[in-house]
Amino acid sequence: MSEVWCLVGTVLKGVSRVRWHELEHAYGSAAEVPGVLSRIAWGDARVGREALDDLSLWIGELAVFDATVATVPFLWELAASEAVKCRAGVIRLLQTVLEHGNPPQPKVQLQAHRAVLSRRATAAQLTHDRDPVVRAAARDLVAAIDSHLSEPCCHV
Protein backbone atom coordinates (compact mmCIF):
# COMPACT_ATOMS: atom_id res chain seq x y z
CA MET A 1 0.00 0.00 0.00
CA SER A 2 1.02 3.58 -0.54
CA GLU A 3 2.01 6.01 2.20
CA VAL A 4 -1.48 7.49 1.91
CA TRP A 5 -3.00 4.77 4.04
CA CYS A 6 -2.68 5.57 7.72
CA LEU A 7 -2.05 2.94 10.32
CA VAL A 8 -4.26 2.73 13.40
CA GLY A 9 -2.52 4.66 16.15
CA THR A 10 -1.04 7.26 13.81
CA VAL A 11 -4.35 8.86 12.86
CA LEU A 12 -4.78 12.17 14.70
CA LYS A 13 -1.38 11.79 16.34
CA GLY A 14 -0.63 15.53 16.15
CA VAL A 15 -4.07 16.77 17.19
CA SER A 16 -2.90 17.58 20.72
CA ARG A 17 -0.24 19.99 19.39
CA VAL A 18 -2.89 22.37 18.02
CA ARG A 19 -4.02 25.16 20.34
CA TRP A 20 -7.69 24.51 19.62
CA HIS A 21 -8.94 26.76 22.42
CA GLU A 22 -7.41 29.74 20.57
CA LEU A 23 -9.21 28.92 17.32
CA GLU A 24 -12.75 29.72 16.25
CA HIS A 25 -15.36 27.87 14.22
CA ALA A 26 -18.85 28.97 13.17
CA TYR A 27 -20.24 28.77 16.71
CA GLY A 28 -17.28 29.89 18.82
CA SER A 29 -14.32 28.15 20.39
CA ALA A 30 -12.85 25.15 18.60
CA ALA A 31 -11.85 23.49 21.89
CA GLU A 32 -14.19 20.55 21.23
CA VAL A 33 -12.86 19.77 17.73
CA PRO A 34 -10.30 17.14 18.89
CA GLY A 35 -13.03 15.11 20.60
CA VAL A 36 -15.21 15.27 17.51
CA LEU A 37 -12.30 14.19 15.30
CA SER A 38 -11.70 11.25 17.66
CA ARG A 39 -15.33 10.16 17.39
CA ILE A 40 -15.05 10.27 13.60
CA ALA A 41 -11.81 8.28 13.72
CA TRP A 42 -12.78 5.56 16.15
CA GLY A 43 -16.56 5.62 16.44
CA ASP A 44 -18.90 3.18 14.80
CA ALA A 45 -20.78 4.27 11.68
CA ARG A 46 -23.55 6.10 13.59
CA VAL A 47 -21.23 7.89 16.00
CA GLY A 48 -18.86 8.85 13.19
CA ARG A 49 -21.68 10.26 11.04
CA GLU A 50 -23.10 12.28 13.93
CA ALA A 51 -19.68 13.69 14.79
CA LEU A 52 -19.04 14.48 11.13
CA ASP A 53 -22.38 16.30 10.91
CA ASP A 54 -21.39 18.46 13.90
CA LEU A 55 -17.95 19.16 12.48
CA SER A 56 -19.42 20.07 9.09
CA LEU A 57 -21.57 22.75 10.67
CA TRP A 58 -18.66 24.09 12.68
CA ILE A 59 -15.95 24.35 10.02
CA GLY A 60 -17.43 24.29 6.54
CA GLU A 61 -21.16 24.60 6.01
CA LEU A 62 -21.52 28.33 6.63
CA ALA A 63 -17.98 29.53 5.93
CA VAL A 64 -14.39 28.57 6.66
CA PHE A 65 -12.57 29.65 9.81
CA ASP A 66 -9.14 29.38 11.40
CA ALA A 67 -10.34 26.12 12.97
CA THR A 68 -11.05 24.88 9.45
CA VAL A 69 -7.44 25.46 8.44
CA ALA A 70 -6.22 23.48 11.47
CA THR A 71 -8.73 20.68 10.91
CA VAL A 72 -8.15 19.96 7.21
CA PRO A 73 -4.88 17.99 7.64
CA PHE A 74 -6.66 15.69 10.10
CA LEU A 75 -9.57 15.28 7.70
CA TRP A 76 -7.09 14.08 5.08
CA GLU A 77 -5.76 11.53 7.59
CA LEU A 78 -9.29 10.33 8.31
CA ALA A 79 -10.16 10.10 4.62
CA ALA A 80 -7.12 7.90 4.02
CA SER A 81 -7.65 5.59 7.01
CA GLU A 82 -9.61 2.46 6.14
CA ALA A 83 -10.60 2.15 9.82
CA VAL A 84 -12.81 5.25 9.58
CA LYS A 85 -16.43 4.27 8.93
CA CYS A 86 -17.54 7.54 7.30
CA ARG A 87 -14.66 8.25 4.91
CA ALA A 88 -16.90 9.30 2.03
CA GLY A 89 -18.48 11.90 4.31
CA VAL A 90 -15.04 13.15 5.32
CA ILE A 91 -14.12 13.51 1.65
CA ARG A 92 -17.35 15.39 0.99
CA LEU A 93 -16.52 17.73 3.89
CA LEU A 94 -13.15 18.47 2.30
CA GLN A 95 -15.01 19.41 -0.88
CA THR A 96 -17.38 21.62 1.14
CA VAL A 97 -14.40 23.44 2.64
CA LEU A 98 -13.08 24.05 -0.85
CA GLU A 99 -16.43 25.39 -2.04
CA HIS A 100 -17.01 27.78 0.86
CA GLY A 101 -15.19 30.95 1.73
CA ASN A 102 -15.01 33.72 4.26
CA PRO A 103 -14.96 37.03 2.36
CA PRO A 104 -14.28 39.14 5.49
CA GLN A 105 -11.22 36.93 6.13
CA PRO A 106 -9.60 36.27 2.75
CA LYS A 107 -6.36 34.96 4.29
CA VAL A 108 -8.26 32.32 6.23
CA GLN A 109 -10.21 31.38 3.10
CA LEU A 110 -6.98 31.08 1.11
CA GLN A 111 -5.31 28.96 3.80
CA ALA A 112 -8.33 26.63 4.08
CA HIS A 113 -8.55 26.17 0.33
CA ARG A 114 -4.82 25.58 -0.02
CA ALA A 115 -4.95 22.99 2.77
CA VAL A 116 -7.44 21.01 0.69
CA LEU A 117 -5.68 21.63 -2.62
CA SER A 118 -2.31 20.53 -1.26
CA ARG A 119 -3.40 16.92 -1.00
CA ARG A 120 -4.79 16.40 -4.50
CA ALA A 121 -2.55 13.34 -4.86
CA THR A 122 -4.25 11.76 -1.86
CA ALA A 123 -7.67 12.43 -3.37
CA ALA A 124 -6.50 10.90 -6.66
CA GLN A 125 -5.35 7.75 -4.87
CA LEU A 126 -8.69 7.51 -3.09
CA THR A 127 -10.38 7.29 -6.50
CA HIS A 128 -9.01 3.72 -6.56
CA ASP A 129 -10.28 2.75 -3.09
CA ARG A 130 -12.03 -0.58 -2.53
CA ASP A 131 -15.17 1.20 -1.31
CA PRO A 132 -17.25 2.45 -4.27
CA VAL A 133 -18.78 5.25 -2.19
CA VAL A 134 -15.30 6.49 -1.24
CA ARG A 135 -14.21 6.24 -4.88
CA ALA A 136 -17.19 8.33 -6.03
CA ALA A 137 -16.65 11.01 -3.36
CA ALA A 138 -12.94 11.14 -4.22
CA ARG A 139 -13.69 11.54 -7.94
CA ASP A 140 -15.98 14.48 -7.12
CA LEU A 141 -13.29 16.02 -4.90
CA VAL A 142 -10.59 15.64 -7.56
CA ALA A 143 -12.88 17.35 -10.08
CA ALA A 144 -13.56 20.17 -7.60
CA ILE A 145 -9.84 20.57 -6.89
CA ASP A 146 -9.00 20.64 -10.58
CA SER A 147 -11.63 23.28 -11.31
CA HIS A 148 -10.65 25.30 -8.26
CA LEU A 149 -6.99 25.48 -9.20
CA SER A 150 -7.85 28.00 -11.90
CA GLU A 151 -9.80 30.29 -9.54
CA PRO A 152 -8.39 33.63 -8.35
CA CYS A 153 -8.02 32.63 -4.68
CA CYS A 154 -5.24 30.21 -5.60
CA HIS A 155 -3.14 32.88 -7.26
CA VAL A 156 -3.02 35.42 -4.41
pLDDT above 90 covers a percentage of the chain that reads 81
What are the pLDDT digits (tens) for 62-107?
A: 899 999 999 999 999 999 999 999 999 999 999 999 999 888 899 9
What are the pLDDT digits (tens) for 105-135?
A: 999 999 999 999 999 999 999 999 999 999 9
Distance CA 72, CA 97 (A): 8
pLDDT above 70 covers a percentage of the chain that reads 90
pLDDT reported for residue 141: 98
pLDDT reported for residue 151: 65
pLDDT reported for residue 44: 95
pLDDT reported for residue 152: 60
pLDDT reported for residue 79: 97
pLDDT reported for residue 8: 41
Mean pLDDT of the region 39-60: 96
Whether pLDDT at 155 is above 60: no
